[in-house]
């Protein structure tokens, strides 16, 4: 099935500043109050109906915000729902839509990112968007504070990996003490706050 999709939906070589967002990046960016700023990084942003269905199950402020952005024509909604084996509705639909229109795909799930790359898509995640917002001066806070906020909203990443992504910013900002420990996914649930 993957070979057939690659053949029929292979992206063109033209570069695109148009993106398709999946559910987790939308949630992360909304929880950080940065979704609208993130959308401004692209010429066009779309979400597939599969992502909207995942958000609709939650019926929370994230869903309401996305509906508002669709109604204001800041985000386009494409009627695509597709499921790949071992991927969710949102990830699968995001990949199909990105292939269909040669767009950047914004995914955080490792399996989905791997498949999207195998199909020839440009893939970025929530952290790449946050990095761009820092570079543009939209996010002015210390990267360590941003890391803490990410952990508080339930986005987990190894602190070493995070520091590699945000190293340039770390050099320009005051660094936190080197022995400071942050909650990780491997810690007991009582040590984590999941939103």
The total of other beta-carbon atoms located within 10 Å of residue 111's CB is: 13
- SS3 labels along 125-164: CHHHHHHHHHHCCCCCCCHHHHHHHHHHCCCCCCHHHHHH
What does the pLDDT read at residue 191? 42
What does the pLDDT read at residue 16? 55
Question: Which residues touch 91 (CB under 8 Å, ≥6 apart)?
Answer: 22, 23, 84, 107, 109, 111, 112
What does the pLDDT read at residue 192? 39
Q: How far is CA 187 from the centre of its chain?
A: 24
Among residues 47, 43, 38, the alpha carbon closest in space to that of 20 is found at 47
User: Which pLDDT tens digit goes with each residue over 76-122?
Assistant: 999 988 888 899 999 999 999 999 999 999 999 999 999 999 999 99
Phi, psi of 132 (to 5 degrees): -65, -40
What does the pLDDT read at residue 187? 42
Domains of the chain, by residue range, sit at 2-129
Task: Please tell me the CATH code under which domain 2-129 is placed.
Answer: 3.40.50.1010
3-state secondary structure of 109: coil
Calculate the dihedral angle through the C-alpha atoms of 88, 92, 97, 98, rounding to the nearest 10 degrees: 110
Among residues 29, 60, 55, the alpha carbon closest in space to that of 42 is found at 29
Residue 50 burial (CB < 10 Å; 0-12/13-18/19+)?
buried
Using 70 as the pLDDT threshold, list the residues of the chain that sit under it. 1-16, 168-195
What does the pLDDT read at residue 168? 56
What does the pLDDT read at residue 79? 93
């Amino acid at each position: 099935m993957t070979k057939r999709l690659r053949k029929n939906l292979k992206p063109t070589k033209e570069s695109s500043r148009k993106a398709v967002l999946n559910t987790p990046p939308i949630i992360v960016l909304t929880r950080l109050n940065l979704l609208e700023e993130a959308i401004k990084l692209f010429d066009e942003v779309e979400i597939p109906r599969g992502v909207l269905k995942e958000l609709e199950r939650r019926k929370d402020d994230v869903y309401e915000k996305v509906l508002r952005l669709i109604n204001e024509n800041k985000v386009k909604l494409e009627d695509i729902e597709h499921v790949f084996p071992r991927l969710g509705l949102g990830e699968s639909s995001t990949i199909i839509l990105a292939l269909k229109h040669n767009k950047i795909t914004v995914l955080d799930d490792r399996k989905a990112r791997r498949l999207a790359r195998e199909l020839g898509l440009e893939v970025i995640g929530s952290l790449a968007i946050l990095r761009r917002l820092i570079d543009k001066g939209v996010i002015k806070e210390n990267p360590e504070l941003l890391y803490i906020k990410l952990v508080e909203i339930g986005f987990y990443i190894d602190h070493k990996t995070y520091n590699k992504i945000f190293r340039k910013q770390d050099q320009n900002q005051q660094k936190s003490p080197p022995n400071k420990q942050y909650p990780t996914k491997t810690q007991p649930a009582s040590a984590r706050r999941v939103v």
